[in-house]
């Protein structure tokens, strides 16, 4: 029973999700000091992620194993060699009474005491908040730590990984092992909240989404929930404020805070995007200070704030300065709308679409997708060898007799909950009368399996392209044919494009093995994003579940008149949805999306230079230039220097030079004079 546990055991009862991390310490504890094995373990992570708690857990593990554990917190002593030695010596003498008789300077006494303790067992020296010991790192590394007995284990915790000289030395590389302490996953969050007495699934789901599994914030949210008898989130602002205050201790500079607030609007950022958002150039030194903060990390697309820092800072900004917040969000939405328009012909434009939908998408999409997806799943295009996996998947779903599946999504902004319900009949109907081999022979790239790291199939997508080689098949398919019958002859003729240039795609099947898995949902939503703004026609007719009726219109699809049918299972009427972004329709679609979100977007004006009214890419000569290259060329023609162009467009001067070189290469010129002749002529 919990009531009979000691305080230490009770604390351990409420700690979840750190078994793997503790296992790493046990490994070091059992092997530390052996040749070829690490004896220095450094754990790092952002504020409030539980580093100090982890050290306490390690203390329990060490004492259970009979080791001496000494913990020193860096704010508790003066940061000099003598201050460190005196603080450590005091800890040693307080904990171990058999150290009498030590003499000499404090540092020598410490070294003697640790050697004496090491003769009777393992010694663990733990240093918390290690990031505050930068002024002593060299001394610690080269003098103190190197003098300790080989069997001594050093355990440090800080906000950043150890770099520089720690990694340059082959000796320290052998001794050092380090890892990041990350957030709790959804399962551990729900386990913790249940242990805290919160059993409401909807409430727990929302707490998980709001806290992102950040341990301190999760604890604050659980406390607020337990004290709120109405079961609402009346105290939500309080624990967000506490979390934000913890993060912002690192940012005392007002100028840097302004940049952090702008970065909190974005999932990924770079210097150019932040400059555009703030409508002024962000200096390089300010950007360098930003990226050096512990809650900022490098990403594939630039840099990113830590999830919780981004959420809390954004929420504070929205409450404190709602007009500024809306303006920044509007500029970000316009930025990504332009990016979508410019990248429509690319196969990887789905990322820009997802970013745009963060600002203009409906609540149902926010509820079903994660704000910061981290899935290790991947979509695999089939080969003849793996076709059998898809056939087995489809056969299993077509003969599904088990109970249906359900899940839930909660919009982190509004708290609106959306139930996802798929009956067994819906699971079977979603893949009805589908011959995978026939589709594969029609187009080998039409079928994709969603796999996890173990290679298990977690989802299926069957997307048939519209072109001259597929229309005959789709006219006979029970799900595709109602749409083709609804078209006028001239509309159908537009679909008969060459095989290498499809006019669009019919999403015949999009099936999730487990709709309650947020990673699977994220990958499925991203899959749709990769098609909807690709400059083609996208059509689908999913089994008519309630969540499907809400989701596809949220993506921007419209129901097609005269294309509804009952061909999934013969009884329930299923609508057919279409989204047409061919030609100029993509721009109209984007304008409508932003307009519904209350934003006025003018694609030619977002980054439009003021000189000479702007060029158009209508001639064959100018067609190779991107919109940004045209803007740079226009400002150069107006007589602006590279630095002035950079300030005008809120980019770096190096970026201007890069665009200008691209313009020269594409137009076959070598100077501004030659460029001016071409542009004036055009």
Per-residue pLDDT of 452-485, as tens digits, reads: 888 999 999 999 999 999 999 999 999 999 999 9
Helix H or strand E segment including 491: helix 489-493
Burial class (CB in 10 A: 0-12, 13-18, 19+), 138: exposed
Higher-scoring residue by pLDDT: 89, 10: 89
Q: What is the largest CA-CA distance in the chain?
A: 101
Using DSSP's 3-state secondary structure scheme, residue 40 falls into strand
For residue 539, pLDDT over 80 is answered with: yes
State the pLDDT at residue 609: 36
For residue 161, pLDDT over 80 is answered with: yes
- Averaged pLDDT score across all residues of the chain: 84
For residue 245, pLDDT over 50 is answered with: yes
Helix H or strand E segment including 155: strand 153-158
State the pLDDT at residue 200: 83
Closest among 276, 296, 275, 295 to 284, alpha carbons compared: 275
Angle (CA) 58-64-67 rounded to 5° is 75
Phi, psi of 636 (to 5 degrees): -60, -45
For residue 617, pLDDT over 50 is answered with: no
Phi, psi of 39 (to 5 degrees): -125, 5
Residues in Cβ contact with 594 at an 8 Å cutoff, skipping those fewer than 6 apart: 333, 334, 337, 360, 600, 601
For residue 246, pLDDT over 70 is answered with: no
CA 264 – CA 242 distance, rounded (Å):
17
The number of beta carbons lying within 10 Å of the beta carbon of residue 78 is 10
State the pLDDT at residue 99: 72
State the pLDDT at residue 610: 38
CA distances from 377 to 185, 365, 518, 525 (A): 16, 20, 11, 13
Higher-scoring residue by pLDDT: 134, 503: 503
The 3-state DSSP composition of the chain as helix, strand, coil percent (nearest 5) reads 50, 15, 35
CA 449 – CA 513 distance, rounded (Å):
11
CA 558 – CA 561 distance, rounded (Å):
9
State the pLDDT at residue 646: 78
With both helix axes pointing from N to C terminus, report the angle between 322-342 and 271-278 in degrees, rounded to the nearest 10: 130
CA 139 – CA 370 distance, rounded (Å):
45
| CA 343 from centroid of its chain's CA atoms | 21
Per the CB < 8 A criterion, the answer to whether 311 and 371 are in contact is yes
For residue 320, pLDDT over 70 is answered with: yes
Task: Convert 378-422 into a string of H (helix), E (strand) and C (coil).
Answer: EEEECCCCCHHHHHHHHHHHHCCCCCCEEEEEECCCCCCEEEEEE
Q: Which domains occur in the chain, in start order?
A: 2-180 (3.40.50.300), 378-592 (3.40.630.30), 611-681 (1.10.10.10)
pTM over 0.95: no
**Region of 126 on the Ramachandran plot (φ > 0 left; ψ -120 to 50 alpha; else beta):** beta
Average pLDDT over residues 244-267: 84
What DSSP string describes 443-488?
-GGGEEEEE-TT--EEEEEEEEEESTTTHHHHHHSTTTHHHHHHS-
Least confident of 468-482, 531-545, 603-617, 665-679: 603-617
Higher-scoring residue by pLDDT: 550, 351: 550
For the chain, the residue count is: 682
Strands 302-305 and 296-299: antiparallel
Average pLDDT over residues 481-492: 95
CA 137 – CA 42 distance, rounded (Å):
13
CA 535 – CA 587 distance, rounded (Å):
10
State the pLDDT at residue 606: 41
Report, in angstroms and rounded to the nearest whole number, the Rg of the chain calculated over CA atoms.
30
For residue 229, pLDDT over 50 is answered with: no
Task: Convert 316-369 into a string of H (helix), E (strand) and C (coil).
Answer: HHHHHCHHHHHHHHHHHHHHHHHHHHHCCCCCCCHHHHHHHHHHHCCHHHHHHC
State the pLDDT at residue 232: 45
Average pLDDT over residues 667-678: 79
Confidence of residue 104 (pLDDT cuts 50, 70, 90): confident
Residues in Cβ contact with 62 at an 8 Å cutoff, skipping those fewer than 6 apart: 29, 68, 69, 122, 124
For residue 612, pLDDT over 50 is answered with: no
Average pLDDT over residues 526-554: 92
For residue 413, pLDDT over 80 is answered with: no
Strands 577-580 and 558-559: antiparallel
Per the CB < 8 A criterion, the answer to whether 48 and 84 are in contact is no
Phi, psi of 594 (to 5 degrees): -70, -35
**Bridge partner residues of 504 (DSSP):** 466, 537
State the pLDDT at residue 274: 94
Residues in Cβ contact with 87 at an 8 Å cutoff, skipping those fewer than 6 apart: 72, 76, 77
State the pLDDT at residue 681: 64
CA 189 – CA 368 distance, rounded (Å):
18
State the pLDDT at residue 671: 81
């Amino acid at each position: 029973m919990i009531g009979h546990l000691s305080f230490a055991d009770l604390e351990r009862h409420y700690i979840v999700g750190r078994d793997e991390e503790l296992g790493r310490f046990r490994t070091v504890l059992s092997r530390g000091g052996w040749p070829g094995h690490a004896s220095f373990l450094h754990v790092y992570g952002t504020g409030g992620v539980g580093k100090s708690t982890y050290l306490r857990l390690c203390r329990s593990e060490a004492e259970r194993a009979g080791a001496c554990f000494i913990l020193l917190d860096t704010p508790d002593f003066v940061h000099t060699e003598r201050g460190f030695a005196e603080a450590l010596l005091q800890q040693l003498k307080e904990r171990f009474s058999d150290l009498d008789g030590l003499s000499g300077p404090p540092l020598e006494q410490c070294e003697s005491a640790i050697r004496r303790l090491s003769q009777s067992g393992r010694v663990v020296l733990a240093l918390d908040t290690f990031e505050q010991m930068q002024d002593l790192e060299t001394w610690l590394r080269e003098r103190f730590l190197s003098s300790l007995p080989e069997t001594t284990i050093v355990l440090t915790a800080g906000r950043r990984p150890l770099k520089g000289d720690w990694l340059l030395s082959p000796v320290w590389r052998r001794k050092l092992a380090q890892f990041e302490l990350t957030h709790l996953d959804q399962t551990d969050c729900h386990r913790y909240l249940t242990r805290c007495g919160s059993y409401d699934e909807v409430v727990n789901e929302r707490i998980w989404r709001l806290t992102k599994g950040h341990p301190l914030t999760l604890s604050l949210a659980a406390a607020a929930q337990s004290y709120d008898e109405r079961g609402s989130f009346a105290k939500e602002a309080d624990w967000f404020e506490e979390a934000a205050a913890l993060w912002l201790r690192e940012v005392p500079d007002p100028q840097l805070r302004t940049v952090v607030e702008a970065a909190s609007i974005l999932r990924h950022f770079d210097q150019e995007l932040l400059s555009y958002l703030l409508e002024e150039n962000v200096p390089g030194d300010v950007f360098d200070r930003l990226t050096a903060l512990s809650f900022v990390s490098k990403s594939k697309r630039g840099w990113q704030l830590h999830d919780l820092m981004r959420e809390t800072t954004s929420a504070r900004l929205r409450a404190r300065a709602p007009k500024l917040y809306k303006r920044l969000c509007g500029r970000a939405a316009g930025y990504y709308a332009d990016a979508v328009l410019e990248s429509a012909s690319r196969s990887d434009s789905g990322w820009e679409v997802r970013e745009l939908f963060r600002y203009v998408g409906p609540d149902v999409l926010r509820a079903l997708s994660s704000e910061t997806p981290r899935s290790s799943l991947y979509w695999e295009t089939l080969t003849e060898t793996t076709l059998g996996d898809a056939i087995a998947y489809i056969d299993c779903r077509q003969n599904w007799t088990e109970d249906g599946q359900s899940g839930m999504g909660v919009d982190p902004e509004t708290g609106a909950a959306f139930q996802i319900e798929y009956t067994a009949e819906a699971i079977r109907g979603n893949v009805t009368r589908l011959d995978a081999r026939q589709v594969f022979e029609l187009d080998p790239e039409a079928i994709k399996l969603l796999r996890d790291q173990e290679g298990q199939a977690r989802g299926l997508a069957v997307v048939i392209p519209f072109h001259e080689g597929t229309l005959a098949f789709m006219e006979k398919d029970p799900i595709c044919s109602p749409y083709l019958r609804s078209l006028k002859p001239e509309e159908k003729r537009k679909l008969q494009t060459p095989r290498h240039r499809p006019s669009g795609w019919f999403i015949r099947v999009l099936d999730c093995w487990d709709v309650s898995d947020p990673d699977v949902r994220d990958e499925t939503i991203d899959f749709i994003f990769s098609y909807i703004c690709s400059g083609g026609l996208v059509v689908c007719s999913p089994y008519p579940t309630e969540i499907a009726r809400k989701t596809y219109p949220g993506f921007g699809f419209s129901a097609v008149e005269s294309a509804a049918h009952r061909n999934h299972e013969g009884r329930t009427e299923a609508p057919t949805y279409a989204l047409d972004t061919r030609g100029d329709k993509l721009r109209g679609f984007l304008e409508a999306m932003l307009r519904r979100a209350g934003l006025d977007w003018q694609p030619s004006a977002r980054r439009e230079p003021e000189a000479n009214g702007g060029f158009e890419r209508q001639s064959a000569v100018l067609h190779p230039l991107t919109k940004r290259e045209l803007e740079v060329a226009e400002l150069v023609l107006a007589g602006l220097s590279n630095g002035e162009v950079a300030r005008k467009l809120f980019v770096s001067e190096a970026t201007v030079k890069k665009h200008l070189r691209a313009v020269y290469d594409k137009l076959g010129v070598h100077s501004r004079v030659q460029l001016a002749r071409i542009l004036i002529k055009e």
